[in-house]
Structure 1
Amino acid sequence: MDACNHAPAGPRHDRPPVLPERKHLHRRARLHFDGRLPRPPRRHPRARTAHGYAAIAPDFYHRTCPGIELAADAHGRERGFELLQQLTRTQALDDLAATIEWVAVNRAPLAGVVGLSLGGHLAYLAATQFELPAVAIFYGGWIPTTDITISQPEPTIAATAQIGGRVQMFVGCNDPIVPAEHRRQITDALTDAGTDHQLIEYPGVGHGFLCDRRASFHPEAANDAWNRLLRFLEQS
């Protein structure tokens, strides 16, 4: 399985380990999961490297279309849904375990996991199965349902009690993939499990607001979420 690695430039940060997105040796590592791309969104992961984070984005589609990069249009979304329905929970967990092990052996301790859309679902799933200090989820869909293969046979939300780290979620109030009822179910599950969590909602904002390649990109929400994410990671 291939993975895209963005290493930070500048002086080394001697700080505690942070989450799973990829990082450079002796620096805090973060794993970045994006359901549409094998690589992180163009702007933000490279920006994160300027803050001392190396970002690692594993290619979860390596079994079917290795290295594919989908366009941010209707055709790209349609193809993306076809691919995500071919990714099973067992395969995703195998890839997550391999990536986390690789970071542990070759890079720095994990700072945390950051996931967008399907990647947000993967980040939530990772938090239920691995010891992660923090997980940031951007508009992660299908967490309370069995609508996609990685949320089967039981919804990913069913394993919420196994989450040991902090969780921060970002979502637009107009996001059809993460409707209000799903957001309520997720926050209720995290609260019942005693998980340290925070849900940040943006009124009038839709899905994919963090990605500047999409028509739904929302600069104000993206900048606010970006700053909150950095503060969240700094706490690890």
Structure 2
Amino acid sequence: MLIRSDEKADIDTPTGTMRVHLFRPMRAGRFPAVLLFSEIYQVTAPIERLAAMIAGLGYLVAVPEVYHEYEAPGCVLAYDKPGTDRGNDLKYTKPIGQFDSDNIALIDWLRGHDACSGRFGAFGVCLGGHLAFRAALHPAIEATACFYATDLHTGTLGGERADGTLARAAEIRGELMMVWGRHDPHVPYEGRKQIRDALEAAAVALEWHEVDGQHAFLRDGAPRFDAALFLAGMTWTNTLFQRVFIAQS
């Protein structure tokens, strides 16, 4: 379906104003909202295209600028060494609780949006995979898709020795899908096993995929992009969201 991709909103959070990029179907209606969390580079062109694809499946997609406390609205970090260094530095600089308060503020704001049905999901890649997992701890989130989530097994998001994310897995009430590339150096086999064991122990409603891919295989235009895995990942995501938001409505 046709979508709108020209909307932005500056919303209040406990730690300042956060810009949110909105993508939604062109037709009138109220749609489940998907919080889409980016890589460390914020809202880049590949992230915009990813958000547009999900919106075209029938969702109001909200992409927050996760480093709003440190960068000006609209800041996009480049896919180069300075951009990577800055993005990695900020994911450890920003306290873990501020990522959570951003999620609460965004959900509360979306509840009042004319195109929001009042139902919520989450989606994320890389850093955003971890942030989507954290969003899944919120009781409003019914379905979450996490692609190659970083720092879950090390517990170092926010620069803390133990960010507590995995330890809180039992708080997840919705369905959770985890997708990994087997050749991802950021999350080796031992890390994936640690995450899987924690989710099994917490009895989370879990869908788990490991593919013969690398880190960031969804990022179109990059050397590690894998079109076949991109299509598979989007199919899994659509199936998850359709099952939760359509079949269970």
Task: Give the shorter-chain TM-score range.
Answer: 0.7 to 0.9
Residues 109, 150 of structure 1: CA spacing in aligned structure 2 closer, same or farther, 3 A cutoff? Answer: farther
Scaled by the length of structure 2, what TM-score is found?
Answer: 0.83
Q: Structure 2: which 5+ residue stretches go unaligned?
A: 1-17, 245-249
Aligned match of 1:3 in 20, 27, 32?
Answer: 20
Q: Show CA shifts across 1:171-224 (max 9, x none).
A: 110011121111111111111111110111111x11111111422111111111
Decide which of 199, 211, 216 is 2:208's aligned counterpart: 199
Query: Which residue pairs with 1:183 in the alignment?
Result: 192
Percent identity of paired positions between Structure 1 and Structure 2: 29
Which protein has greater RCO, CA pairs closer than 8 Å, 6+ apart?
A: 1
How much does 1:90 deviate?
A: 1.3
Q: For the aligned residues, what is the CA RMSD?
A: 1.8
How far the C-alpha of 1:80 sits from its partner, in A, is 0.9
Partner of 2:243: 235
3-state SS of the aligned residue for 1:227? helix
1:8 Cα deviation (Å)? 1.4
Matched, 1:71 2:75: no
Tell me, which stretches of 5 or more residues in structure 1 are unaligned?
A: 13-25
Higher strand share: 2
Q: Aligned letter for 1:60? A: V
Q: Does 1:222 align with 2:239?
A: no
Partner Cα distance (2:33, 2:159) in 1 = 25
- Count of paired positions: 222
| Displacement of 1:11 | 6.1
Do the aligned partners of 2:42 and 2:75 also contact (CA within 8 Å) in 1?
Answer: yes
Determine which of 156, 162, 172 is the counterpart of 2:171: 162
Whether the 8 Å contact between 2:41 and 2:79 is mirrored in structure 1 is: no
Query: Which deviates further from its counterpart, 159-168 or 211-220?
Result: 211-220
For residues 31-80 of structure 1, what are the alpha-carbon distances to aligned partners after superposition, in whole Å with 9 as ceiling and x for unaligned? 10013343261322112222111210111111101322112233321121
User: 1:1-47 CA deviation, whole Å, 9 max, x = no partner?
Assistant: 111111212464xxxxxxxxxxxxx1121110013343261322112
